[in-house]
């Protein structure tokens, strides 16, 4: 459970394009609001990592042509792509301004011009998009992939990506990248998955405000939905099993991707209400009984928030000073790269 949770309005019960303004009647007022995580605390990031871990493990059970890869950028290509994504970003902002959608653009783009970590992640987004376009042009279909970004720990601190691609064509993996070096592993197994997943949950001491970005094909791990094990998760009112069991017998919360596929909207609402009726909450794997009050819950929440801060994870607040400092560091690294490139 998120350490900085908040409740937001349930879109199902708000007039929108999907319901055409015809808002359905809620059978229980408690479903009018749904919990939302901050996405930055240790619990949110652990949950995200676990969900992808499950889906990737499920995928490689069926698809045996998985390749572990690491993609890097040369200084020259990094500089080129940065110019392109900055130009594209500005053009998008101008177009949205013309349409009177500036507020929406600020929310989606976070800043008028790309800076700091936003630029790093946009470089990777552009590179992956073009990489897949080249692959599709050659083979008539896109390259199935799951990639996560990381900032280097050496002097250059360049952004790069680790992950998995599904193909038997190792030559084309290297040939179609074109932005730097490519490392291809000899196999993919549970240890490989555990290795790449750590980047989702990693706290970078040099870049505490940085959050890795995942670029992935649709439907990773969908094979679980066709296995008999998923039948055990079908809705059975009070007897519904909402957990996923690993090969080692460990029970984990079912990934949201599977929940949305297995349960209908109505069933998910009933399961949510069932949780509320239990009068219990979970924090860092610890169950807290709140039937007689929430004092213990808030006490444990405070302790875990302190631990979260001590370990260097984020929260629902913006640390403007640290963010400003780290943005300036990224810009200095960028200038070093530009100067180095112009001198050669």
**Residue 172 pLDDT:** 97
How far apart, in whole angstroms, are the C-alpha atoms of residue 247 and residue 56? 14
Which 3 state secondary structure label does DSSP give 29? Answer: helix
How far apart, in whole angstroms, are the C-alpha atoms of residue 344 and residue 337? 11
**Residue 94 pLDDT:** 77
| Residues with pLDDT less than 70, the chain | 101-113, 318-320, 325, 341-344
**Residue 292 pLDDT:** 87
How far apart, in whole angstroms, are the C-alpha atoms of residue 338 and residue 344? 10
> What are the residue ranges spanned by the domains of the chain?
1-37, 53-221+320-343
pTM (whole model) above 0.85:
yes
- Which stretches within 278-319 are classed as H helix? 295-310
Look-up of token digits 């199902």: 12
How far apart, in whole angstroms, are the C-alpha atoms of residue 281 and residue 30? 16
**Residue 109 pLDDT:** 52
Closest residue by Cα to residue 331 from 124, 111, 82:
82
Name 320's Cβ contacts closer than 8 Å, sequence gap at least 6. none
* Structure token pair of residue 325: 């400092």
**Residue 317 pLDDT:** 75
**Residue 102 pLDDT:** 64
Q: Are 340 and 78 in contact (CB under 8 A)?
A: no
**Residue 259 pLDDT:** 95
């Amino acid at each position: 459970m998120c350490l900085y949770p908040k409740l937001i309005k349930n879109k199902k019960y708000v007039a929108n394009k999907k319901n055409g303004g015809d808002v359905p009647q809620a059978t229980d007022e408690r479903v009018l609001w749904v919990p939302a995580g901050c996405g930055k605390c240790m619990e949110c990031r652990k949950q995200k990592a676990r969900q992808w871990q499950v889906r990737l493990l499920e995928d490689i059970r069926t698809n045996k042509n998985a390749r572990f890869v690491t993609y890097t950028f040369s200084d020259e290509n990094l500089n080129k792509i940065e110019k392109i994504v900055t130009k594209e970003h500005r053009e998008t902002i101008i177009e949205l301004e013309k349409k009177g959608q500036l507020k929406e653009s600020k929310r989606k783009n976070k800043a008028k011009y790309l800076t700091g970590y936003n630029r790093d992640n946009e470089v990777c987004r552009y590179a992956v998009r073009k990489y897949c376009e080249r692959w599709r042009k050659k083979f008539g279909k896109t390259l199935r992939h799951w990639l996560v970004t990381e900032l280097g720990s050496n002097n250059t601190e360049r952004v790069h990506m680790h992950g998995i691609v599904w193909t038997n064509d190792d030559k084309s993996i290297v040939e179609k990248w074109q932005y730097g070096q490519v490392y291809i592993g000899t196999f993919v197994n549970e240890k490989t998955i555990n290795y790449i997943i750590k980047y989702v949950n990693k706290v970078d001491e040099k870049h505490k405000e940085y959050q890795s970005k995942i670029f992935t094909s649709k439907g990773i791990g969908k094979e679980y939905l066709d296995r008999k094990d998923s039948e055990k998760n079908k809705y059975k009112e009070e007897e519904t099993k909402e957990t996923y069991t690993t090969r080692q017998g460990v029970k984990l919360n079912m990934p949201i991707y599977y929940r949305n596929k297995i349960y209908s909207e109505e069933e998910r609402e009933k399961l949510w209400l069932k949780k509320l009726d239990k009068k219990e909450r979970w924090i860092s794997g610890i169950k807290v009984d709140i039937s007689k009050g929430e004092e213990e819950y808030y006490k444990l929440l405070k302790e875990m928030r302190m631990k979260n801060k001590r370990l260097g994870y984020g929260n629902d607040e913006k640390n403007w000073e640290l963010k400003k400092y780290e943005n300036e560091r990224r810009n200095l690294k960028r200038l070093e790269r530009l100067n180095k490139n112009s001198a050669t």
